């Protein structure tokens, strides 16, 4: 089941772990959302988490960021280089964020009545020191911090291609722009690892290509990226390693090539038995997962690559609306 891990393409030392998740189990009443999931994420890698809807991907994210506390297991994080591993469990979300873990949301959660610039500034300023009194009196260091955060916010907006929209209200931005603004806001907190929850949902093919470039660029700057995504083309093109979840359990982990050939994964997505999946794999030359629409539920079959790209975008678009 667990594939032996290979060295990622990243340049950072391979032995340093950003996330060390040891057998976490998360239950809601009788429902087990995550069942004994383990995951080792290395510094500087792009790790994708895939799986059908309801597989527990977002639950995993929430467990890693302190929103949920798993009943069993341990989550250790050392987001920035040289950090001592610290347990996330029981810590408040904002504390986890201060440990260097930033995230975006599946259903966009921007501060829609603030401008794009202000959204990013909120992120940047959580690392600043000046308090209310220095703000009321307009003390020099407060003004300096204010200037710093504005300058830095403009840089970040420029980086995600929103420099021209800085003074627009976040709520009035286009869908794809809102997704990128969320990433900019998360980057504002200066994270060592960023968790992206379906960043490509509802975006068009051009935006997807830009997003892939952005993710790779973020990674190149030394930020580890943990990515939930349904768009297989995007996942396969950027991820160094992939973790596959189904029904709250880890069913596979490995490089994109390994995952595409993994019968358990194909079975999970096609909703067939593993043997059928193996024969299916044997009869086709091209990697199977490229041809499967992974945005639907496991029982839903889609066929060709072309279709999956188009329908995947629309399906995700519908889903990405106010949930």
Partner 1 sequence: MKKLSLPPVVGRLLACLAGGVVLAMMVGTQQGSQQDYGLSFREAVLDVRIVWFLLLGLLVFVVITYKDLVTPYLQRPGVRPLVAGVLVLIASFFLLTWYDPLSDGKFGAFADAVTGTPQIAPLARAFFGWLWLVGLIGVPVLIAVAIVLRVRVLAWVAAVVAVVVGVLAVVADSTAGDFAGGIDHSFGSVVALLGFLVLAFAAGVVARSTKEVATPTEFLERVMAYRPGLPLVVVGLVLGLLSLTGATWLAPTGDNLTLVDTSALFEGSDLDGLSAAVLGWLAYVLLVVVLAAAGAAVWLRSKPLGLAAAGLAVVSVLLVLITLHGISSTAAEAGYGSGDGPWQNLGTGGWVLCIGLFLIGAGAVVAALQDVLPATAAVSSDAAPVTGSGRLHAAARSTTGRSLALFAVGLALFYPPTANQFWQQSLTTTIGVYVLLAVGLNVVIGWAGLLDLGFIAFYAIGSYTTAYLTGSLPVQPPSWLLLSPLWAIPVAILICLIAGVLLGAPTLRLRGDYLAIVTLGFGEIIRIVAVNNPGEFTNGPRGVATPVPHPVIDLGFIRIEWGNSSLQYWYLLLILLAIVLIFFYRLEGSRLGRSWAAVREDEVAAQATGVNTTRVKLLAFAIGASTSGLAGVFFGSQVGYFNPQNFVLNNSILIVAYVVFGGMGSLVGAIAGAAALTWLPEFLRDQVPAEDRTMWIGAVLLVMMIFRPQGLIPARRRKAELTGLAGHDGSVRPGIQAVPASEGT
Binding string, residues 30-69; x marks residues near partner 1 by CB under 8 A: -----------------------------------x-x--
Question: Among positive and negative, which fits the CA dihedral 140, 146, 147, 148?
Answer: positive
The one segment of 182-190, 219-227, 244-252, 311-319 that binds partner 1 by CB under 8 A:
182-190
Nearer residue to partner 1 within complex by CB, 118 or 293: 118
Say if strands 249-254 and 241-246 run parallel, antiparallel, or are unpaired: antiparallel
Q: Give bridge partners of residue 194 from the DSSP assignment.
A: 102, 225
Q: How far apart are CA 297 and CA 290, in angstroms?
A: 16
Closest CA to 120 of 79, 59, 175, 181: 181
Stretch that binds partner 1, among 40-48, 144-152, 248-256, 298-306 (CB under 8 A): 144-152
**Position 231 contacts partner 1 (CB under 8 A):** no
Stretch that binds partner 1, among 82-90, 141-149, 264-272, 285-293 (CB under 8 A): 141-149
Distance, in Å, from the CA atom of 318 to the CA atom of 2, rounded to the nearest integer, reads 34
* Residue 98 touching partner 1 (CB under 8 A): yes
Report which secondary-structure segment, H or E, holds 185.
helix 175-188
Indicate whether 105 belongs to the interface with partner 1 (CB under 8 A): yes
How many other β-carbons are positioned within 10 Å of the β-carbon of residue 206?
9
Residue 203 CB coordination number (10 Å): 26
Q: Check residue 186 for interaction with partner 1 (CB under 8 A).
A: yes
DSSP 3-state of 249: strand
CB 294 within 8 A of CB 269: yes
- Judge whether 301 and 307 are in contact, CB under 8 Å: no
Number of residues that bind partner 1 (CB under 8 A): 47
Residue 150 within binding range of partner 1, rule CB under 8 A: no
Closest distance of CB 238 from partner 1, Å: 22
- Contact status, residue 220 vs residue 133, Cβ threshold 8 Å: no
CB of 153 to partner 1, least distance (A): 11
Among 125, 229, 231, 293, binds partner 1 (CB under 8 A): 125
Using CB under 8 A as the binding rule, whether residue 273 contacts partner 1 is answered as no
Least distance from C-beta 148 to partner 1, angstroms? 11
To partner 1, the closest distance from the beta carbon of 65 in angstroms equals 6
Rank residues 91 and 240 by Cβ distance to partner 1 and give the closer one.
Answer: 91
Question: β-strands 46-50, 31-42: how paired?
Answer: unpaired
- Is residue 126 at the binding interface for partner 1, with CB under 8 A as the rule? yes
Angle at CA 289, nearest 5°, toward 286 and 294? 155
Q: Which residues bind partner 1 (CB under 8 A)?
A: 65, 67, 92-94, 97-98, 102-103, 105, 109-114, 118, 121-123, 125-128, 130-132, 135-138, 142, 145-146, 149, 164-169, 171-172, 185-186, 188-189
């Amino acid at each position: 089941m667990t594939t032996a891990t290979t060295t990622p393409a990243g340049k950072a030392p391979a032995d340093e772990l950003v996330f060390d998740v040891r057998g976490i189990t998360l239950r809601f009443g009788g429902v087990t959302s995550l069942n004994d999931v383990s995951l080792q994420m290395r510094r500087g890698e792009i790790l994708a988490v895939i799986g059908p809807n309801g597989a527990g991907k977002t639950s995993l994210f929430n467990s890693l960021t302190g929103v949920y506390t798993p009943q069993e297991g341990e989550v250790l994080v050392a987001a920035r280089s040289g950090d001592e591993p610290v347990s996330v469990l029981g810590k408040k979300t904002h504390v986890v964020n201060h440990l260097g873990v930033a995230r975006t949301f599946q259903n966009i959660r921007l501060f829609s009545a603030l401008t794009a610039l202000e959204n990013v500034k909120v992120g940047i300023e959580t690392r600043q020191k000046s308090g209310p009194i220095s703000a009321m009196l307009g003390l020099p260091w407060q003004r300096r911090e204010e200037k710093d955060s504005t300058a830095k916010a403009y840089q970040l907006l420029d980086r995600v291609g929103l420099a021209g929209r800085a003074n627009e209200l976040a709520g009035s931005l286009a869908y794809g722009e809102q997704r990128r603004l969320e990433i900019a806001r998360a980057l504002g907190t200066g994270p060592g690892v960023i968790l992206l929850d379906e960043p490509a949902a509802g975006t068009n093919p051009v935006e997807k290509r830009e997003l892939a470039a952005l993710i790779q660029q973020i990674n190149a700057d030394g930020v580890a990226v943990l990515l939930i995504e349904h768009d297989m083309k995007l996942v396969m093109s950027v991820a160094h390693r992939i973790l596959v979840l189904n029904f709250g359990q880890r069913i596979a982990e490995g490089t994109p090539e390994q995952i595409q050939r993994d019968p358990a994964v194909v079975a999970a997505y096609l909703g067939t038995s593993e043997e059928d999946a193996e024969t299916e794999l044997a009869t086709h030359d091209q990697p199977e997962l490229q041809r499967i629409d992974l945005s639907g539920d496991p029982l839903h079959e889609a066929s060709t690559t072309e279709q999956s790209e188009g329908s995947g975008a629309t399906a995700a678009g519908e889903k990405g609306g106010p949930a």
